[in-house]
């Protein structure tokens, strides 16, 4: 026990319940640890006996615990009236705490203060000791995390580092002097964002539109949008503001129980940024750390991006600057926001808008964008290199999703592709984040790597990457994909098991799906978002500082993966450059289920002086 001081308070703890007194016992013990004098009554005393006890001593506080239910409010009001009549209120503050209690209800019943079931020991102690304002400010202030902090991007595998150096140097030499409509638009857009003279702005805008497809020009100049797209009205924006300013969560949840546990991200991309924001705010209440904004698939196929605050009837939220800014405005300042950039013909410009809109991260993978997302390898490599440069200028890290594995590409080829992106980022001044698939992919199903368990091969992938390079690892996308079913309980469980494994492996972040996300027949509901958040929160609490230990077979899988990654990179290093390696199938071929994309084919041009 701490030594008593002049600040020590005399407190009567009252379990105003016929049976239950666990909560007030815990609070009593915490108060004693902090040097306060307490007396704890038994839970079966009548009101008259409690009032008589309160009259015997000038207690500073009388803490009452009771779960609200039918008829309890009348009981509590009668208790306060008897305390008033006995003169106890002249020298003691009376405080109520328990389930369904709120500060407003406590005040209505006549108590000096009320604490609900989410109240922390710190907040109760702060009230007792007169420092509640300071503590409440601190507990409400969420701190933004930096995923790349503590990582030095040092390679531990000498041969792999050497191979990656050769591949990156060849690719950067190839890209020197090349241009695309996407690169030109990105640079024009950057000029438009800075230009204040309307005539010079108009000239830049004219050049920009000459590089866009007709559908984009018609939408931006004449508001003839693609089907299902429209502006968000002023009334809708006002209603959103009214909703969010009148419903401020009183208690910010936390998913992590142990500080070593990873950050947790979810997807946004309903098509409507306002729906995304409302879903996002509720997820923040439950402790989510960040979001990934998923854009519509058709956005990748057009040259040029739509402008304005826009909503879209189908899946995928349009990544206009105005939409990004709207989401950043309403999400908590500490919530991390990632904008996907790498799926099509607007990679460089999307990265620029992400930076201008205040996003914290972007998503770029030159290999997956070519093999699994439909873009021509030369076009995406050129645009992707420009995008990585832009990410570096805005100090945005970029994550590298390994979702080409979902097409059937073997894990080692996918991981080799991730590492190539890491080296390109290192040379271009941007920090990369490895994002290996953390689920049961098609190649794994066909070849039986997870026949005995889901632990060993997933762990082998993470630990192989950690053995190769000191770089953040953020499994996705999402974890547990292809192990979930339409049953929401099963889906939540599968997500929580994978989250516990990821935490045991010391990863930096994870992406989780809602329990209906992979199989939704329509918009994802907020209840299913909370399902998976709660499941992961409970898994993190259950594990605490303990770990899941893989079997000895994991070590064999890990060594095999490192060997196979090395062999893959040797083959890629012999190619002329990265697009050449992708077209030759060295990072995924037709037999794997991967095919080089065709969007933007033939649009890469070279300066004749280069």
Structure tokens at 97: 């705490």
Label each residue of 61-93 as H, E or C.
EEEEECCCCCCHHHHHHHHHHHHHHCCHHHCCE
Instruction: Flag the least confident range among 68-77, 147-156, 529-538.
Output: 68-77
Task: Read off the pLDDT of each residue in 30-41 and give the average, rounded to a whole number.
Answer: 95
Domains belonging to the chain, first-starting first, are: 10-140 (3.40.50.280), 158-176+253-592 (3.20.20.440)
pLDDT, residue 2, reads 44
**What is the distance between the alpha carbons of residues 209 and 217, in angstroms, rounded to a whole number?**
6
- ∠ CA 575-581-585, nearest 5°, is 130
Instruction: Decide: 413 and 592 in contact? Cβ < 8 Å.
Output: yes
Mapping DSSP onto H, E and C, the string for 529-578 reads HHHHHHHHHHHHHHHCCCCCCCCCHHHHHHHHHHHHHHHHHHHHHHCCCH
Model pLDDT, residue 118: 79
Interacting residues of 600 by C-beta distance below 8 A, sequence separation 6+: 180, 181, 182, 344, 345, 375, 376, 379, 380, 383
Please tell me the distance from the alpha carbon of residue 43 to that of residue 98, in angstroms, as a whole number: 14
Residue 385 CA to residue 380 CA, distance in Å, equals 8
pLDDT at 4 over 70: no
Q: What CA–CA distance (Å, rounded) separates 116 from 428?
A: 51
Give the model confidence (pLDDT) of 489-501 as tens digits: 999 999 999 999 9
Rg (CA), the chain: 29
Residue 200, pLDDT above cutoff 50: yes
Enter the tokens of residue 94.
């009376």
pTM: 0.89
Across 452-480, average pLDDT: 97
Q: What are the CA-CA distances from residue 173 to residues 423, 426, 429, 605 (Å)? A: 14, 16, 16, 14
In a 3-state reduction of DSSP, which class is residue 597? coil
Report how far residue 492's alpha carbon sits from residue 533's, in angstroms, rounded to the nearest whole number. 8
553-578 as b/e, with b when 16 or more CB fall inside 10 Å?
Answer: bbeebbeebbebbbebbebbbebebb
Helix H or strand E encompassing 94: strand 93-97
Q: What angle (nearest 5°) sits at the alpha carbon of residue 373, between those of residues 368 and 375?
A: 95
**Cβ contacts of residue 360 below 8 Å, gap of 6+?**
144, 290, 336, 337, 338, 396, 397
Q: CB under 8 Å to 239, separation ≥6 — which residues?
A: none
Maximum CA pair distance of the chain? 97
Give which of 567, 564, 488 is closest to 524, Cα–Cα: 488
Asked if residue 361 lies in contact with residue 350, where contact means CB atoms within 8 angstroms, the answer is no
1 pLDDT exceeds 50? no
Q: Express each pLDDT in 393-425 by its tens digit.
A: 999 999 999 999 988 999 999 999 999 999 999
pLDDT at 336 over 90: yes
* Mean pLDDT estimate for the chain: 92
Return the percentage of the chain with pLDDT > 70, whole number: 95
């Amino acid at each position: 026990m701490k030594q008593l001081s002049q600040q020590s308070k005399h407190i009567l703890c009252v379990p105003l319940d016929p049976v239950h007194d666990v909560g007030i016992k815990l609070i009593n013990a915490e108060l004693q640890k902090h040097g306060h004098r307490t007396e704890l009554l038994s839970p079966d005393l009548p009101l008259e006996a409690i009032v008589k006890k309160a009259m015997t001593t000038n207690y500073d506080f009388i803490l009452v615990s009771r779960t609200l239910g039918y008829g309890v409010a009348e009981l509590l009001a009668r208790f306060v009236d008897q305390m008033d009549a006995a003169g106890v209120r002249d020298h003691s503050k009376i405080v109520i705490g328990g389930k369904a209690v709120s500060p407003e209800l406590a005040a209505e019943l006549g108590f000096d203060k009320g604490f609900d079931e989410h109240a922390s020991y710190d907040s109760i102690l702060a009230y007792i000791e007169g420092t509640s304002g300071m503590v409440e400010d601190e507990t409400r202030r969420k701190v933004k995390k930096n995923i790349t902090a503590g990582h030095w991007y040092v390679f531990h595998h000498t041969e792999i580092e050497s191979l990656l150096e050769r591949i990156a140097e060849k690719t950067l030499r190839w890209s020197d002097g090349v241009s695309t409509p996407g690169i030109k638009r990105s640079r024009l857009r950057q000029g438009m964002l800075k230009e204040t003279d309307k005539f010079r702005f108009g000239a830049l805008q004219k050049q920009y539109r000459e590089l866009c497809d007709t559908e984009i020009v018609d939408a931006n100049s004449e508001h003839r949008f693609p089907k299902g797209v429209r502006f968000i009205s002023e009334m809708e924006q006002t209603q959103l503001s009214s909703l969010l300013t009148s419903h401020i969560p009183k208690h910010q949840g936390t998913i992590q129980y142990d500080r070593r546990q990873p950050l947790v991200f979810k997807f946004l991309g309903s098509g409507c940024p306002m729906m995304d924001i409302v879903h996002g705010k509720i997820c923040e209440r439950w402790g989510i750390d960040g979001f990934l904004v998923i854009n519509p698939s058709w956005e990748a196929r057009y040259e040029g991006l739509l402008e304005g605050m826009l909503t879209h009837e189908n899946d995928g939220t349009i990544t206009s600057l105005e939409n990004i800014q709207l989401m950043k405005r309403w999400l908590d300042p500490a919530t991390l926001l990632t904008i996907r950039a790498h799926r099509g013909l607007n990679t460089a410009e999307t990265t620029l808008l992400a930076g201008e809109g205040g996003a914290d991260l972007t998503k770029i993978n030159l290999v997956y964008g070519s093999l699994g997302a439909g873009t021509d390898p030369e076009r995406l490599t050129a645009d992707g290199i420009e995008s990585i440069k832009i990410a570096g200028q805005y100090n945005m890290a970029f994550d590298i999703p390994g979702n080409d594995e979902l097409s059937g590409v073997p894990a080692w080829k996918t991981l080799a592709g991730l590492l190539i992106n890491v080296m390109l980022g290192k040379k271009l001044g941007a920090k990369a984040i490895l994002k290996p698939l953390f689920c049961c992919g098609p190649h794994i199903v066909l070849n039986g790597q997870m026949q005995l368990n889901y632990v060993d091969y997933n762990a082998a992938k993470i630990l192989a990457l950690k053995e190769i390079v000191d770089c953040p690892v953020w499994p996705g996308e999402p974890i547990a994909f292809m192990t979930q079913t339409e049953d929401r309980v099963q889906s939540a469980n599968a997500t929580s098991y994978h989250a516990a494994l990821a935490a045991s492996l010391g990863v930096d972040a994870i992406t989780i799906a809602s329990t209906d996300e992979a199989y939704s027949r329509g918009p994802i509901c907020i209840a299913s978002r909370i399902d998976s958040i709660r499941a992961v929160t409970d898994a993190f609490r259950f594990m605490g500082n303990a770990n899941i230990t893989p079997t000895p077979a994991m070590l064999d899988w890990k060594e095999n993966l490192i060997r196979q990654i090395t062999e893959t990179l040797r083959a890629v290093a012999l190619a002329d450059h990265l697009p050449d390696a992708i077209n030759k199938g060295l990072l995924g071929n037709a037999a794997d289920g991967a095919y080089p994309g065709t969007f933007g084919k033939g649009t890469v041009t070279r300066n004749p002086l280069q």
